[in-house]
């Protein structure tokens, strides 16, 4: 029997946290989903030859390079994953699209609106597919939440509260990194982009924002013991109004001591409510006014095979998926879009849309007024 399928050859730029997550996601997606292509990990680039070589050995690539441009121009490659710092996303993406490769770029698409605009233009000039890494949207419980809202089970939606908070910058002694550079983007672009994407995924477009973005820790030491001033935001909060009329609030915070992965939302409607917390990503809580009064309360919906595509990973409910499985789902959908089976789930135009919201919140913060998106 011949199991052969066409191949899709992959190059990855960056072998840090997300580089490894992409590799893991490709490996799982290739085995768990019925993909139209066999996924081959071919080449990896990193900041120098030693790092690239060591990553290639550990992660199972055939080649490595310290020059991302040469990886982009490798004729063997079909798809480029960009998991390098945010400031490099634009140049690498545009070069890859111009070299006729599909591009899977980590979020935020880029730290500024001008850059994301250029990237969208490049994607429109190319006939290749694009994807931005908003992996939380691939949670089966998000699909369930969206279905509950669309079915009208919550009645008319009245309000939304969303937060993405972590604490990895909360220690003022932790060193200055690429995330603190002005081109790093700040907490709203870096983390807030995730919760903005979730808000629009669930409730449609946001029309207006009124925000405040602040820098709390104004100086940090580099690893060479030099002091650097910080201009980007540490905390950003905003009121938002959706096009549908729903009112909401959004918070992005990387100084949230004790919060490890608070990507949480609450949605209230006239007939019920739902709430979710990423630290318990297999659970969605539903309150329904149609329940008998004496048993009313938030009930837990525990992820299981009925919450597709959970069933691809596990036949038993309650055994739980993790962060890496969300990445595998995201990858499988991107690969299907490359084969034109489904539309691109979250392409560069969608990433640009999120950057418009980020830019609007920052402008609103500076100008102290509501900003239309």
Which residues bind to ligand NAD, rule: CB under 6 A? 13-19, 45-47, 51, 68, 83-86, 88, 106-107, 133, 135, 190
In the complex with ligand NAD, which residue's Cβ is closer, 30 or 190? 190
In what order do the strands lie in the sheet containing 63-65?
Answer: 63-65, 38-45, 7-13, 79-82, 102-106, 130-133
- Helix locations, the chain, DSSP H: 17-32, 49-59, 68-72, 89-98, 113-125, 140-150, 186-187, 193-203, 310-313, 323-338, 348-367
Closest distance of CB 116 from ligand NAD, Å: 13
In the complex with ligand NAD, which residue's Cβ is closer, 149 or 358? 358
In angstroms, the CA 334 to CA 79 distance is 11
Residue nearest to ligand NAD (CB): 16
- Helix locations, 185-259, DSSP H: 186-187, 193-203
Closest distance of CB 194 from ligand NAD, Å: 7
Closest distance of CB 28 from ligand NAD, Å: 16
In the complex with ligand NAD, which residue's Cβ is closer, 43 or 288? 43
Closest distance of CB 17 from ligand NAD, Å: 4
Residues in Cβ contact with 341 at an 8 Å cutoff, skipping those fewer than 6 apart? 36
Q: How many of the other CB atoms lie within 10 Å of CB of 306?
A: 11
Closest distance of CB 179 from ligand NAD, Å: 8
In the complex with ligand NAD, which residue's Cβ is closer, 166 or 251? 166
Residues in Cβ contact with 222 at an 8 Å cutoff, skipping those fewer than 6 apart? 175, 176, 228
Radius of gyration of the chain (CA): 21
In the complex with ligand NAD, which residue's Cβ is closer, 56 or 149? 56
Closest distance of CB 12 from ligand NAD, Å: 9
Buried b (16+ CB within 10 A) or exposed e, 45-72: bbeeeebbbebbeebebebbbeebeebb
Closest distance of CB 66 from ligand NAD, Å: 7
In the complex with ligand NAD, which residue's Cβ is closer, 18 or 199? 18
In the complex with ligand NAD, which residue's Cβ is closer, 85 or 345? 85
């Amino acid at each position: 029997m011949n199991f052969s399928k066409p191949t899709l050859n992959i190059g990855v730029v960056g072998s840090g946290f997300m580089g490894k997550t992409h590799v893991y996601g490709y490996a799982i997606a290739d085995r768990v989903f019925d993909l139209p292509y066999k996924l081959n990990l071919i080449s990896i680039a990193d900041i120098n030859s030693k790092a690239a070589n060591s990553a290639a050995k550990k992660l199972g690539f055939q080649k490595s390079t310290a020059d991302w441009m040469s990886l982009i121009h490798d004729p063997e490659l079909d798809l480029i994953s960009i998991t390098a710092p945010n400031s490099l996303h634009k140049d690498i993406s545009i070069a890859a699209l111009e070299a006729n490769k599909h591009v899977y770029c980590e979020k935020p698409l880029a730290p500024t609106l001008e850059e994301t605009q250029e990237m969208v233009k490049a994607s429109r000039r190319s006939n290749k597919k694009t994807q931005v890494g908003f992996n939380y949207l691939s949670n089966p419980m998000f699909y369930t939440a969206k279905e509950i809202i669309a079915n009208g089970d919550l009645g008319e939606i009245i309000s939304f509260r969303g937060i993405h908070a972590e604490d990895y910058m909360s220690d003022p002694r932790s060193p200055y990194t690429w995330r603190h550079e002005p081109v790093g983007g700040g907490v709203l672009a870096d983390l807030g982009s995730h919760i903005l994407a979730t808000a629009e995924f669930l409730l449609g477009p946001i029309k207006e924002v009124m925000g405040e973005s602040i820098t709390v820790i104004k100086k940090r030491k580099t690893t060479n013991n030099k002091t650097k001033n910080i201009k980007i935001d540490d905390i950003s909060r905003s009121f938002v109004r959706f096009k549908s009329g729903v009112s909401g609030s959004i918070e992005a915070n990387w100084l949230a001591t004790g919060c490890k992965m608070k990507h949480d939302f609450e949605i209230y409607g006239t007939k019920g409510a739902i709430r979710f917390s990423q630290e318990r990503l297999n659970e969605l809580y539903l309150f329904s006014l149609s329940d008998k009064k004496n048993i009313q309360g938030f009930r837990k919906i525990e992820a299981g095979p009925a919450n597709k595509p959970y069933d691809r990973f596990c036949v038993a409910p309650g055994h739980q998926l993790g962060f890496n499985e969300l990445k595998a789902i995201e990858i499988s959908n991107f690969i299907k879009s490359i084969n034109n089976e489904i539309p691109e789930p979250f392409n560069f135009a969608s990433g640009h849309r999120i950057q418009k919201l980020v830019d609007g919140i920052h402008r609103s913060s500076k100008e102290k007024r509501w900003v239309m998106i």
